[in-house]
Amino acid sequence: MAIVIKRPQAEADLDEIFDYIATDNLERAIAVLLELDEVIKNISANPYMGRQRFELLPNLRSFAHKNYVVFYFPMSNGIDVIRILHGARDIISIFQD
């Protein structure tokens, strides 16, 4: 089974996503987190399937799912998730900070 490491900032991103959606629809917030969890598991089984994002960080990859983008480092036995962001955000500025 592939390994998934979620860094603290990725966990905080998931909390933020949940809180934002839950203000309008708790059930949808739960569904979105479950979807993202499934996407992350799928990526971990094929860590090189995402897009290379060398313009942001060396060896970084991303995988988009609906409105969200999972940013991760591939490992030989899984992935190291560093951020999960809404695709409409200024991703370049976020990574520059």
Q: What is the residue-level pLDDT of the chain in tens, covering all 97 positions?
A: 799 999 999 999 999 999 999 999 999 999 999 999 999 999 999 999 999 999 999 999 999 999 999 999 999 999 999 999 999 999 999 998 7
Element of type H or E holding 15: helix 8-22
Q: Which domains does the chain have, with CATH numbers?
A: 3-96 (3.30.2310.20)
Terminal Cα distance for the chain, rounded: 34
Model confidence, pTM: 0.94
